[in-house]
Amino acid sequence: MGFTMTRRGALKLTAAGLVAPWAVRARRAFAQDAIETHGLSSFGDLALPQDFKHFGYVNPDAPKGGLLSLQITTTGGNQNFDTFDTLNIFSKKGDGAAGMSATFDTLMSGNADEPDSAYGLVARAVRYSPDRLDYRFLLRSEARFSDGSKLTAADVAFSLNVLKEKAHPTYSQLLSEVESVSAEAEDVVYVRFIKERTRDAHLVVGGMPIFSAAWWKGRDFDAATLEAPLGSGPYRVKTFEQGRFIEFALDPGYWGKDLPVNVGVNNFQRLRFEYYRERQVAFEAFKAGAINFHQEYTSRIWANGYDFAAVKEGRVKKEAVHNGAPTGSQGWYFNTRREPFKDPRIREALGLAFDFEWTNKNVMFSSYKRVVSYFQNSAMEAVGPPGADELAVLEPLRGEIPQSVFAEPYTPPVSDGSGSDRALLKRANEMLLAAGCTREGGVLRLPGGAPFTIEFLDSSDVFQPHVAPYQQNLRKLGIDAHSRIVDPAQYKSRTESFDFDVVASAFGGSVTPGAELRVNLSSASATLVGSRNLAGVADPAVDALVEKIVHAATRADLNATCRALDRVLRAGHYWAPMWYNDSAWLAYWDAFSRPERQPKLGTGAPDTWWWDEEKAKKIGL
């Protein structure tokens, strides 16, 4: 059914003084010229037709049942790996609980076979203007919240507005290009973007959670709460113990269970997240069956820890699954807001003290590869001298960026594997002295005369075997390098307020980088409390390249500009890059089955898996 603006709606808006007559005419023209689609993408290409039945990597006949118990492995908003004290993961306050996103629906849902496409969930279709500034999301009439109340355009408008105005920066910053949101009808959400909108702004809107405006009326969105906010997603909060676990139950009346985007997923009757401060404790819980799905991140345990009885008996399976998802960037980030780390020569020297080759062999069982790029293992990674397409982007910035950017991209040198490569430490020492540092009695002093001290901040000791030899090399240079392990709440507070010298962090990769680069790398985010710009990158050249990326009209332009940005960031030495693994290490109790193939851009585990009752009985579960 085509969209038309009713006469009553136009009169209502005009009478309220909100829309001038010319604007009404403009909207009518938009209605006539609008492009209607069943999906959205970055570059306008959709792989699936309007009548697709399900995604290609799922089993449409997967049964519903059983329990999936696991740990939180990725965070967003205010979430914390180690604890939780609020069920609102979108606010600026508190530590959000794992799994809460499963209780909320979104307008659109992504396809893990495509890099940047989304298809209708709450929205049955989308109409947009030729200039891509006006979008109307046409909602499904059957959409309901879990209490049975109808989900309307007013709820979507409320959600986008409150997220833009009050949410954690990881959400509010992404919605900065939304000029206005309104409910034109009960089933029509009108979103207007600013003229300078980025390429993916419509996808950002399509992926935001939808709240109940009625439920939030009279409640403080900013306040921490242990009352589960009303959602419309496939799961409801069943039970929890603050800071220890949270369990969800599949909603038997979930309104959207038969939609094409939901077929073959949300297969577990119960979904439970367990919290453990220590990885070894979590592993012991897995061995005991308290967790039945475990993604391993510790190479020592992966190499030597899976010799317990359940593995030998075949009740627990262990496998490395190739991950088609983009590789994230992990490293120790230097806080350039602080004086000792403002000079890139000093930052480069600090990076030379980390002996990856020794660490990989002696601590990580040679299981990893070295991260060298911000777009590792992708078409966006800079390799060799810049090509013509990259030079077209870089030449206007000549004089504002290091000359080295126009040659080979910076790559950390390969050490001799001794753990203390004298040649690299000598080179680091020379760079420190060239930057104005001095040495007195074995103590390295900064250009201002203060002793050079570095505190590595963390909330866990998991990286201590890796960072200890790194710190030992720094001490050989005369730097007082040490670790500070704090509780999760203090760690969150200090990192969000940028009260640290060095922190280890990993940022997820993306096939189609967009507005999240502003959150991670822009000058504006460098001073925004709670942003992900840990290094404090505040470079006009980086800002310019980020803007070109978020506005790139073709994938070729996107890739070339990302390679250019990669060169500039690597020349800036904002980090000591760590390591990566292009396979996911999975261990699980053999009570699951899975589709015939995994998604092209991920492992599909455990999202597309299901509980296999026969297997569970065989192993006594």
CATH of the domain at 66: 3.40.190.10
Q: Do residues 170 and 519 lie in contact, with contact meaning Cβ atoms separated by under 8 Å?
A: yes
At 240 the three-state DSSP class reads strand
Do residues 157 and 208 share a domain?
yes
* 307 pLDDT above the threshold of 70: yes
Residues 361-383 have a mean pLDDT of 94
**DSSP 8-state class, residue 512:** S
What is the token pair recorded at 62?
């997967």
Residues 382-400 have a mean pLDDT of 97
Do residues 22 and 12 share a domain?
yes
Do residues 116 and 159 share a domain?
yes
Do residues 22 and 38 share a domain?
no
Does residue 210 or residue 328 have the better pLDDT? Answer: 210
Give the largest CA-CA distance in the chain.
84
At 371 the three-state DSSP class reads coil
Do residues 40 and 25 share a domain?
no
Tokens 């939901």 map to which residue? 262
Domain boundary among 229, 254, 275: 275
**DSSP 8-state class, residue 603:** -
- Measured CA distances, 464 to 72, 283, 412, 482 (Å): 21, 18, 21, 10
Do residues 29 and 40 share a domain?
no
Alpha-carbon distance 165 to 161, whole Å? 6
* 190 pLDDT above the threshold of 60: yes
Do residues 29 and 47 share a domain?
no
- Measured CA distances, 559 to 119, 245, 568 (Å): 24, 41, 14
Q: Do residues 546 and 517 lie in contact, with contact meaning Cβ atoms separated by under 8 Å?
A: yes
Do residues 480 and 470 share a domain?
yes
* 495 C-beta neighbours (distance < 10 Å), count: 20
Phi, psi of 196 (to 5 degrees): -90, 20
What is the token pair recorded at 115?
């890099």
When pLDDT is cut at 50, 70 and 90, the band that residue 439 belongs to is very high
The reply to whether 498 falls in a domain is yes
Burial 444-480 (b: 16+ CB within 10 A, else e): bebbeeeebebebbbbbebbeebbebbbebbbbbbbe
At 451 the three-state DSSP class reads strand
As for how many domains the chain has, the answer is 3
pTM: 0.85
Give the pairing of strands 235-241 and 245-250: antiparallel
Share above pLDDT 70 across residues of the chain, in percent, rounded to a whole number:
95
The reply to whether 282 falls in a domain is no
When pLDDT is cut at 50, 70 and 90, the band that residue 20 belongs to is very low
Of 318, 324, 290, 321, which is closest to residue 304 (Cα–Cα)? 318
Alpha-carbon distance 90 to 79, whole Å? 9
Render pLDDT for 35-52 as a digit per residue (tens, 0 to 9).
Answer: 999 999 999 889 999 999
Tokens 């280890």 map to which residue? 504
The reply to whether 252 falls in a domain is yes
Task: For residue 363, give the amino acid letter.
Answer: V
Of 454, 469, 457, 373, which is closest to residue 419 (Cα–Cα)? 469
Q: Which domain range does residue 6 map to?
A: 1-33
Which burial class, exposed, middle or buried, applies to 537 when counting CB atoms under 10 A from its CB (0-12, 13-18, 19+)?
buried
Do residues 26 and 138 share a domain?
no
Of 282, 243, 273, 272, which is closest to residue 489 (Cα–Cα)? 243
Mean model confidence pLDDT for the chain = 92
The reply to whether 313 falls in a domain is no
When pLDDT is cut at 50, 70 and 90, the band that residue 564 belongs to is very high
- CATH number, domain of 487, equals 3.10.105.10
When pLDDT is cut at 50, 70 and 90, the band that residue 508 belongs to is confident
The reply to whether 588 falls in a domain is no
Question: What is the pLDDT, as a whole number, of residue 30?
Answer: 52
Render pLDDT for 205-220 as a digit per residue (tens, 0 to 9).
Answer: 999 999 999 999 999 9
Q: Do residues 484 and 455 lie in contact, with contact meaning Cβ atoms separated by under 8 Å?
A: yes
Alpha-carbon distance 472 to 553, whole Å? 48
When pLDDT is cut at 50, 70 and 90, the band that residue 530 belongs to is confident
The length of the chain, given as a count of residues: 621
What is the token pair recorded at 333?
């980030």
Sheet strand arrangement including 35-37: 35-37, 123-128, 134-139, 188-193, 178-185
**DSSP 8-state class, residue 87:** S
The reply to whether 586 falls in a domain is no
Do residues 361 and 506 share a domain?
yes
Of 437, 376, 362, which is closest to residue 412 (Cα–Cα)? 376
Do residues 353 and 244 share a domain?
no
Domain boundary among 275, 310, 342: 275
Alpha-carbon distance 234 to 220, whole Å? 25
The reply to whether 324 falls in a domain is no
Which helix or strand (DSSP H or E) is residue 523 part of? helix 523-526
Alpha-carbon distance 16 to 182, whole Å? 14
Do residues 18 and 68 share a domain?
no
